[in-house]
Amino acid sequence: MKNKSFSGKYILYVIIFMVTAIVTFISMHYKAESAASVLMSEATLPVVMAKTEAGTLYNAMHGYTCEVDYSRLSTDLTLLPSDKKLAIAIDTYGESVSSISYKIRDSRDMSLIESTKVENFDSSPSRVETVLNIKNLISDEVKYILEITLNTKNHENVYYYTTVVSGMSDGIQEKLDYVIEFNKNTYDASNVNEISKYLETTASADNSNYGKINIYNSLDQVRWGDLHPFIESNIIPSLYESDGDTAVIAIDYTVGAGNDNDSYDTYTVHEYYRIRKTTRAMYLLNFERESNQVFDGRNDLLSSGKINLGIQPDSDIELMDDDKNNYTYFENEGSLWCYDKSSNTFTKVFAFASDDTDNIRERYERHKIKILDVTEDGNAQFIVYGYMNRGIHEGATGVSLYSYNYVSNETEELLFIPVNMSYEALCETVGDVAYVSDDRSFYIVLNDTMYSISLDSREVMTAIDKMSKGTYKVSGNGRIIAYSTNGELYNTDSIRVFNMERVNDYTIDAPPGDKLMVLGYVNTDLIYGIAHSTDIINDENGITTFPMYKVCIMNECYELIKEYEQDGVYVSSANVDGLRINLDRVAKSDSGYSAVSVDQLINKDENNTSEHASFDIISTSLRKVEQVIVLPKGGGKPDSVITRAAGSVEYKENRTIDINDIHIGTCERYNVIGKGRYYSSYDDVDKAIIAAAGNYGNVYDGENNIIWKRFKTSSYMIKGFSLSSSYGNSYAAASHAVESFMGSDKNLKRLTLKGISFENALSFVSDGKPVIAKTDDGYVVITAYDTSNVTYIDASTGSEVTQTQANATKLFTQAGNIYVTYYKK
């Protein structure tokens, strides 16, 4: 009995202890979780600016709270004075600066050249000024990366980056002054003649949209017509190119303008200038202005059932509504908004911008928003990726996943993935996939790898790897991905279709002797092609022709719903345009394949009215063309609209996910910088050149080397080039001659181009690079051109030929516009 009693008492004590321990653990865990919640804080990081010898501020640099791999892209250019003493100004916004240091790095391999601590600097309550006495360890006309580090009261290290070059500062003051004065005169009616003499107004220019202006518009359009805006912010120019007499300069600022409702609207404005300074005058080579109206919900609901976004350069805006069309989410100028039809309410769900500051830091446009899902009760999930302007991640680059609850009116961060790269590089790596499944798994593509992250356990898994561009496509709803299982574009034996929502998959296997290619999606229908291996051609230029004898369409239930096949005709490529599939087709010929007529596959639902919110335009007398969102079921009464902001944006501890193997992808990427902005990146250099040509930009490789320049001289002759026709066939002779001329070594890289225009190919010649061009009879090497003629050497005979540009264009176009050239990394 005694032993029994002791045993029962012991068990009771154990139970009491365990219950107490569990309650204590739960209590401690609850308190820790509650204490860890914080709201989005205001911006705290200073802004650093370069200063000319005359005192003009330019190149505003924003701070990073960790060192960034800035070798990928550094889009602004700071010119060092002849003595290499660079003056800088730091707007502190009340953040005290305790120390300043800087490093100079080689822009190609990021090797350290100089590391110096600044001993003296002048401080005031709002600004710090100093001079960086850069040592004479750098060469003139060579680009380097300058990294400035500040120690502040609230941040141990804050890093700022710009590209610097010495020996090229002559004339920079006059160029900056010209841009500042031109901008000022667009808002000053008394100085209209100072603008008109630089414009190249044409009758064909579109003068209907203040959102997009260029040098060809009318004077009245450039001066904003009857809108009469006023500048609200400081103007700090950014220098992006300086090449001898020419320069590319951009400015970003905000203006206010009255409207028809006895109030005013705010617009963000981006202006791009390409100018040339000569001994006689300053010339405006190109000018563009983009203006975006900042949505505020006031007087923006129209009686016609449309949401008025006002003046915009285009309709490239994130937009999504729920299946019942009650809640419409849209992005505007870095902010996310929601319109609730039932309560006639606009809600600002997320924004870095603030009503209480000058917004120099908050409106720094280096982030994007992607809407992932909108539910029928108004809740939404979205990601913000890029540079974080303020809040707990201020100064970091990464991807934040947010969830917004409409009823509680609260936004909560679910996770944050930091990445050690610039905004431009992150835009390259964030793929088309970003999706949250019902089982709370977050799928995202970063650097050619799709990760699956559990929002509950924080476990990170690699779902798919080797996802090079072009080898995978995503459905319209973002839930399904189809990809080549071996990551190869032209040598795929199987395609895997993975449904992230249902967490199931299906594999498409190629018939024996055939290869597959993923072509795209129309909504949730997959399009893929099949080619015979024996028909695939990889020519001497490295250009692959993948002739598909059959194109198949499969629905999301993995059922084959259509096949396209025609005798003697092959599909060489396909692109999806809405509900249409455009098919480029070829037929066999003596030289391989020749293009035949284009065909289309049209979805039966193409003419059906959209069941979801969509974009349209309207025209008003004051603001001319304006962008609107059409609500399928209309909206509430315009005079009873409610406007609100999310009650809080909440951050909690342990939401940061470190994915250790995130790095810049190994495949070569070509980046386009146009009009003073990062535009996009491409796997194919020819596609990058086409994009850059349309955006007045340049093409850079992954190590920030310029590949191609949009602007070329009016004439150029490459001297010292020779070619021996006895060296094998014509292509071998041409490539050997060009490689020898360029100085064949390990840094010499070949570029094979297909489909760019002859005019764009001449930009390489303008840069001193001979260009091999294909003709119907062989190959030639282009060595010179002027405004009327072009000169090339026939690789078969070694003879030099000069003919008109019109005839040369016809000659090279008939052969497919195939060009080869080289550049040094």
Average pLDDT on 238-251 reads 93
Residue among 102, 64, 112, 108 at smallest CA distance from 80: 102
CA distance 675 to 270: 9
Q: Of 283, 314, 280, whose CA–CA distance to 200 is shortest?
A: 283
The CATH number assigned to the domain with range 172-293 reads 3.10.450
Beta bridge partners of 482: 473, 497
- Three-state SS for 328-351 is EEEEECCEEEEEECCCCEEEEEEC
The string of pLDDT tens digits covering residues 409-429 is 999 999 999 998 778 778 877
Residue where the block lists tokens 């205001």: 42
Is the pLDDT assigned to residue 2 strictly greater than 60? no
| Gap between the Cα atoms of 295 and 65, Å rounded | 30
- Summarised one tens digit per residue, pLDDT across range 552-605 is 999 999 999 999 999 999 999 999 988 899 999 999 988 789 889 999 998 876
- CA distances 203 to 207, 216, 286, 713, 800, Å, are 9, 9, 17, 27, 42
The pLDDT score that the predictor gives to residue 3 is 39
Residue where the block lists tokens 């990551």: 487
Q: For residue 792, give the H/E element and its range.
A: strand 789-794
Would you say residue 635 has pLDDT above 50?
A: yes
Give the other-Cβ count within 10 Å of 11's Cβ: 10
Judging by beta carbons within 10 Å of its beta carbon (0-12, 13-18, 19+), is residue 356 exposed, middle or buried?
A: exposed
Residue 663 banded pLDDT, cuts 50, 70, 90: low
Which CATH fold topology does 712-824 show? Cathepsin B; Chain A (3.90.70)
Which pLDDT band, with edges at 50, 70 and 90, does 711 fall under?
confident
User: With bands split at pLDDT 50, 70 and 90, how would you rate the model's confidence at 607?
Assistant: low
What separation in angstroms does the CA of 343 have from each of 7, 378, 379, 399, 818? 65, 11, 15, 32, 59
Mean pLDDT for all residues in the chain: 90
Q: How confident is the model at residue 11 (pLDDT cuts 50, 70, 90)?
A: very low
User: Is a pLDDT exceeding 60 seen at residue 7?
Assistant: no
Q: Write the pLDDT tens digit of every residue in 293-312.
A: 999 999 999 999 999 999 99
pLDDT band at 148 (very low <50, low <70, confident <90, very high): very high
Domain range list for the chain = 2-35, 47-166, 172-293, 306-602, 712-824
Instruction: Give residue 429's pLDDT.
Output: 75
- Pair of tokens at residue 562: 């259509």
Would you say residue 262 has pLDDT above 90?
Answer: no
Q: Taking 70 as the threshold, does the pLDDT of residue 4 lie above it? A: no
Query: Does residue 21 have a pLDDT over 70?
Result: no
pLDDT confidence of residue 35:
31
pLDDT at 127: 96
Instruction: Output 102 or 695, whichever has higher pLDDT.
Output: 102
Please name the CATH architecture into which domain 306-602 falls. Answer: Beta Barrel (2.40)
Band of residue 9 on the pLDDT scale cut at 50, 70, 90 = very low
H or E element that contains 318:
none
294/264 Cα distance (integer angstroms): 11
- DSSP letters, 535-554, are G-EE-TTS-EE--BSEEEEE
Of residues 31 and 85, which shows the higher confidence score?
A: 85
% of the chain at pLDDT higher than 90: 72
β-pair partners for 780: 773, 794
Q: Using one digit for the tens of pLDDT, what is the confidence trace for 56-106?
A: 999 999 999 998 877 665 679 999 999 999 999 999 999 999 999 999 999
Confidence (pLDDT) at 234: 93
Between the two ends of the chain, the Cα-to-Cα distance in Å is 90
Q: At what angle do helices 758-766 and 685-694 cross, to 10 degrees?
A: 90
SS3 717: strand
At 183, phi and psi to the nearest 5? -60, -45
* Mean pLDDT score, 35-50: 83
DSSP bridge partners of 332: 335
Q: Which fold has domain 47-166?
A: Immunoglobulin-like (2.60.40)
Higher-pLDDT residue of 509 and 538 is 509
Tens-digit pLDDT profile for residues 481-522: 999 999 999 999 999 999 999 889 999 999 999 999 999 999
pLDDT recorded at residue 727 = 65
Mean pLDDT of 242-251: 92
- At residue 504, the pLDDT reads 92
pLDDT at position 662: 58
Comparing C-alpha atoms, which of 311, 350, 313 is closest to residue 331?
Answer: 350
